[in-house]
Amino acid sequence: MGECPVCGSEIELEDGVRENEIIDCETCGAELEVITLNPLTFEEAPEEQEDWGE
């Protein structure tokens, strides 16, 4: 179990998730990067602004 750094709710990882993967917090919808698996820690993923307009 990890804790969402944004809303503080507990997060249960799906099987097969590795370090550096991006997961979504089911509670607040934040994108979180898996920093370490043991102990399980997350960091809020930087929002990538995709700008397709030119």
Site residues for Zn ion per CB under 5 A: 4, 6-7, 25, 27-28, 30
Nearer to Zn ion, 9 or 36 (CB): 9
Q: How far is the CB of 53 from Zn ion (least distance, A)?
A: 30
CA distance 53 to 46: 21
Q: What is the largest CA-CA distance in the chain?
A: 43
Nearer to Zn ion, 16 or 29 (CB): 29
Residue (19 or 24) nearer to Zn ion, CB: 24
